[in-house]
Amino acid sequence: MSDMPPGLDLFHAGHRTRLKWHRLRLSLDAPLFSAETMALGFALGASMELDLRVRGDGGFVVLHDADLSGETSGHGLVCENSGKAIRSLRMRAGGTAPILSEDLVSLLTKAHPEALLQFDMKDRLTTIGARGLDHLAEHFSKAGGSIIVSGRDLDLIVAIKNRLPEIPRGIDPTDKLVDILATGDTAAVEAELTADLQGPTEPDMIYLSWPLILNAQEAGLDLIGLCHDAGRRVDAWTYNLKSRHAGFSDTEWQQFSTLMALKPDQITTDEAPATERAWIARITPGR
């Protein structure tokens, strides 16, 4: 693996696009939320993403599902179990202990200056409550540019902005924009996204699915350009090659090169090294 691209970023027309490691993995067949992969990313300065669920004691754990049985050896709702109880469990994929938010604090202090860890909050503000916000403020108020907090619950993002104003924030308006675009009303799509860009969350990053971005472009609307004009960055999610060994098919290359021409700031992928390798193979003459 040492002679393979690490899967950090791509360059096109003078623009750098980071490759974000989706759910802390470097290939689709790797375990989710690998502490080993996170440590590697911190050392290399990678952009990474993990999901957080609130625990019963107000802390958080790196899990996607609301119920422990989906990803761990445990049972019951995550929000009803303590950190001590969850730490004794094992992840179904990989057999390691779940990562608690307290574990992240020490790891962040050793991170490469360019490392960026996205906390994708899977619970709503009503579930996280004051205890969860207190926990975030106590443990991550000094994390600065090392983390970015995102979520679909805009009330939660506003609450986090008020408690931790120095932490960058992200929002994902994809679902509603897809629905509006399906009506053919591109002006309404632009108006809705503009409202989010100017809204109370004051987002730093906008997460948009890559098919939405390409469909809007085909309809004459540059969503990435709209965000850039407002001083916001864009993460295009989640692009995975059908074959990490074969690289881009002609159809995939047409899609991906069109996406890259729009200059996203990040592309979320479960196949970062393979994507970087495939990109280099396509843009390097004679390869």
The DSSP result for the chain, as a single string, is: -TTS--S-EEEETTEEEEEEEGGG-SSTTSPSS-HHHHHHHHHHT-EEEEEEEE-TTS-EES-SSSBGGGTBS--SBGGGS-HHHHHTS-BTTT-PPPPBHHHHHHHHTT--TT-EEEEEE-S-HHHHHHHHHHHHHHHHTT-GGGEEEEES-HHHHHHHHHH-TTS-EEE--HHHHHHHHHTT-HHHHHHHHHHHHTSTT--SEEEEEHHHHHHHHHTT--HHHHHHHTT-EEEEE----S-TTT---HHHHHHHHHHHHT--SEEEES-HHHHHHHHHHHHSTT-
Residue-wise pLDDT tens digits, 76-99: 999 999 999 999 999 998 899 999
Separation CA 263–CA 151 (nearest Å): 23
pLDDT of residue 1: 43
Name the token pair of 10. Answer: 């791509």
Q: Is the dihedral of CA 252, 254, 255, 260 positive or negative?
A: positive
**Residue matched to tokens 């600065």:** 144
Pairing of strands 9-12, 15-21: antiparallel
Residue 95's region, left for phi above 0, alpha for psi from -120 to 50, else beta, is left
Give me the count of residues in the chain.
287
Separation CA 149–CA 120 (nearest Å): 6
Average pLDDT in the 175-197 region?
Answer: 98
pLDDT of residue 4: 65
Pairing of strands 169-171, 116-121: unpaired
pLDDT at position 2 over 70: no
Contact 258, 229 (CB under 8 A): no
Confidence bin at 111 (pLDDT 50/70/90): confident
Average pLDDT in the 193-212 region?
Answer: 98
Average pLDDT in the 187-194 region?
Answer: 98
Separation CA 163–CA 141 (nearest Å): 9
Residue-wise pLDDT tens digits, 245-272: 999 999 999 999 999 999 999 999 999 9
pLDDT of residue 164: 95
Burial class, 240, CB count within 10 angstroms (exposed 0-12 / middle 13-18 / buried 19+): middle
Instruction: Using a pLDDT cut of 90, give the percent of the chain over it.
Output: 91
Give, in order, the Cα–Cα distances in Å from 271 to each of 18, 121, 236: 13, 22, 14
Name the token pair of 205. Answer: 């990053």
Contact 39, 21 (CB under 8 A): no
